[in-house]
């Protein structure tokens, strides 16, 4: 146990001196393995861990989702969706912000990457809101928080990674994310309305014109068609969720080219961005396997489990402790790093407490996703700030009411598992 404590401190120090999270986990994990089982076996772990991690079909969803988001933005598809939503709700105060949430939901139904979604919205929705004299705080906050929808509304990279790490059905996780995702979107819109009526952050709406709204709606048709096509190939039995991501990439490409808004020249940078992001993510997953392997040889999972079983604490008290730890981790760490660091411990514990693996996956995803909009490390806020040029502090200030709303939604999801589980139960039956 002493060596484990030292290793955890080493890991923390390495991360504090800005060693990339993946490298830090790999180095600390290898050192731990060498202490625990010997140097030669530790090297044998290194010999295979990268090939075993990367040779995985299910992981292809990651580059494909990111590529899809890149193509949709490059092809102006997201910007048109915002304009269409605005034509319908733009007449209320804060209407354009609500329209951005609507477009974020549409985008979320296509892509599974929160940061990709935020980036897409920051380059398309933020300029629109700025043009309509929205306060920067509200505009960037809506873009950042709207981006988080992408990992709860299926498809979702975080849910794919959770499914891979815990061997939970990815199909079920996807369906389970729908209601919590829509609930979050409703929550965001409510906060926008409250902020709009209590501050001068949002301008008065423009008069509603039915003809204009109908005309603008044409522009959202291609995106809806794409969503229907992607969902259709999954539930029509033509492709598995990971394969459907590839289908969506082709759809986004065809759409952009057909609308003449995508130039072939922007293809190469899109592919390059997707590959770079994948390399970063997969390196984190591979190195976290090294660390998780070390953890399992320390038997800390079993010790912790028996401590929990012996503690006599009610299951929900233990769950609350876990969620709190994940929230704190979310302040400082990236969501995939948290998942891969925490799930080897938290998942078996949750299963021992008889929680549903699908529900637990949604609760965990929702929890780590809040970390994307909290300081000091809040990736979505960083991306929104980076793309808009608004100061980071302003973005975080604007996000405060949304963070409170997120915590309320999380509490509801924990208190009422049926919110998450009734839809998968309805569509897929029991088990």
**What is the secondary structure of 251-280 as a DSSP string?**
HHHHHHHHTT---GGGHHHHHHHHHHHHHH
Nearer to another protein, 48 or 133 (CB): 48
Closest CA relative to residue 417, chosen from 361, 372, 379 = 361
Nearer to another protein, 127 or 205 (CB): 127
In the list 26, 95, 180, 371, the residue contacting Na ion (rule: CB under 5 A) is 371
In the list 374, 380, 387, 388, the residue contacting Na ion (rule: CB under 5 A) is 374
Q: Is the dihedral of CA 339, 340, 346, 348 positive or negative?
A: positive
Out of another protein, Na ion, none, what residue 169 binds, judged by CB under 5 to 8 A for its kind, is: another protein
User: Count residues contacting Na ion (CB under 5 A)?
Assistant: 10
Q: Is the dihedral of CA 64, 254, 224, 203 positive or negative?
A: positive
Do the Cβ atoms of 143 and 126 come closer than 8 Å?
yes
Decide if residue 281 touches Na ion (CB under 5 A).
no
DSSP E strand boundaries for 146-248: none
What's the closest the beta carbon of residue 198 comes to another protein, in angstroms?
30
What's the closest the beta carbon of residue 346 comes to another protein, in angstroms?
15
What's the closest the beta carbon of residue 112 comes to Na ion, in angstroms?
4
Binding mask 375-394 for Na ion (x = CB under 5 A): --xx----------------
Residues 289-308 touching Na ion, rule: CB under 5 A, are none
Nearer to another protein, 31 or 202 (CB): 31
Out of Na ion, another protein, none, what residue 428 binds, judged by CB under 5 to 8 A for its kind, is: another protein
Closest CA relative to residue 420, chosen from 154, 171, 155, 177 = 177
Backbone angles phi, psi at 187, to 5 degrees: -60, -45
Residue reference for tokens 């289908």: 247
Q: What is the rounded CA–CA span in Å between residue 240 and residue 256?
A: 24
DSSP 8-state symbol, 265: G
For 337, residues 6+ apart whose C-beta sits below 8 A from its C-beta are: 21, 22, 25, 284, 288
Nearer to Na ion, 151 or 345 (CB): 151
Based on its alpha-carbon atoms, the radius of gyration of the chain, rounded to whole angstroms, reads 22
CA-CA-CA-CA dihedral for 128, 131, 133, 138, to nearest 10 = 30
- Tokens for 381, please give them: 């806020």
What's the closest the beta carbon of residue 298 comes to another protein, in angstroms?
11
Out of another protein, Na ion, none, what residue 153 binds, judged by CB under 5 to 8 A for its kind, is: Na ion
Out of Na ion, another protein, none, what residue 374 binds, judged by CB under 5 to 8 A for its kind, is: Na ion
Out of another protein, Na ion, none, what residue 208 binds, judged by CB under 5 to 8 A for its kind, is: none
Nearer to Na ion, 127 or 232 (CB): 232
Nearer to another protein, 224 or 300 (CB): 300
Nearer to another protein, 249 or 326 (CB): 249
Residues 143-162 touching Na ion, rule: CB under 5 A, are 150, 153, 156
Do the Cβ atoms of 308 and 349 come closer than 8 Å?
yes
Out of Na ion, another protein, none, what residue 58 binds, judged by CB under 5 to 8 A for its kind, is: another protein
Q: What is the rounded CA–CA span in Å between residue 320 and residue 324?
A: 6
Q: What is the rounded CA–CA span in Å between residue 381 and residue 360?
A: 26
From residue 154, alpha-carbon distances to 134, 147, 170, 171, 334 in Å are 30, 13, 10, 9, 20
Residues 94-113 touching Na ion, rule: CB under 5 A, are 108, 112
Q: What is the rounded CA–CA span in Å between residue 22 and residue 223?
A: 36
Out of Na ion, another protein, none, what residue 238 binds, judged by CB under 5 to 8 A for its kind, is: another protein
Nearer to another protein, 200 or 354 (CB): 354
Nearer to Na ion, 90 or 181 (CB): 181
Binding mask 407-426 for Na ion (x = CB under 5 A): --------------------
Residue reference for tokens 């949604």: 362
Interacting residues toward Na ion by CB under 5 A: 108, 112, 150, 153, 156, 331, 371, 374, 377-378
């Amino acid at each position: 146990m002493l060596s484990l404590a030292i290793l955890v401190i080493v890991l923390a120090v390495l991360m504090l001196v800005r060693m990339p999270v993946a490298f830090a986990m790999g180095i600390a994990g290898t050192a731990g393995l060498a202490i625990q089982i010997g140097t030669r076996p530790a090297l044998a772990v290194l010999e295979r861990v990268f090939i075993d991690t990367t040779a995985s079909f299910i992981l292809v969803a990651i580059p494909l989702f990111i590529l899809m988001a890149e193509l949709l933005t490059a092809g102006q598809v997201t910007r048109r969706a915002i304009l269409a939503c605005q034509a319908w709700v733009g007449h209320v105060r804060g209407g354009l912000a609500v329209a951005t949430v609507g477009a974020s939901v549409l985008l979320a139904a296509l892509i599974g990457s929160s940061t990709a979604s935020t980036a897409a919205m920051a380059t398309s929705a933020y300029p629109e809101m700025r043009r309509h004299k929205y306060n920067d705080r509200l505009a960037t906050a809506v873009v950042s928080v709207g981006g988080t929808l992408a990992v709860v509304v299926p498809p979702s990279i975080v849910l794919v990674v959770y499914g891979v790490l815990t061997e939970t059905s990815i199909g079920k996780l996807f369906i389970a994310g729908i209601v919590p995702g829509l609930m979050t979107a409703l929550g965001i819109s409510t906060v926008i309305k409250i902020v709009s009526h209590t501050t001068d952050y949002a301008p008065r709406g423009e008069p509603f014109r039915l003809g204009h709204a109908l005309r603008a709606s044409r522009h959202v048709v291609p995106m809806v068609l794409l969503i229907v096509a992607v969902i259709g190939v999954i539930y029509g039995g033509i492709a598995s969720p990971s394969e459907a991501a590839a289908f969506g990439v082709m759809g986004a490409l065809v759409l952009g080219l057909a609308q003449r808004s995508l130039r072939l020249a922007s293809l190469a940078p899109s592919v390059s961005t997707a590959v770079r992001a994948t390399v970063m993510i997969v390196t984190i997953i591979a190195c976290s396997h090294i660390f998780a392997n070390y953890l399992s040889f320390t038997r800390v999972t079993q010790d912790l489990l028996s401590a929990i079983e012996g503690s006599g604490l009610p299951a929900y008290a233990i769950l609350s402790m876990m969620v709190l730890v994940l929230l704190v981790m979310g302040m400082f760490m990236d969501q995939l790093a948290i998942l891969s660091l925490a799930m080897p411990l938290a998942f078996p514990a949750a299963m021992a407490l008889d929680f549903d693996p699908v529900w637990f996956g949604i609760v965990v995803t929702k929890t780590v996703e809040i970390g994307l909009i909290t300081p000091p490390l809040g990736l979505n806020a960083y991306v929104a700030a980076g793309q808009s040029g608004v100061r980071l502090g302003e973005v975080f200030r604007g996000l405060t009411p949304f963070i409170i709303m997120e915590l309320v939604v999380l509490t509801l999801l924990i208190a009422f598992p049926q919110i998450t589980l009734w839809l998968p139960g309805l569509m897929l039956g029991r088990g």
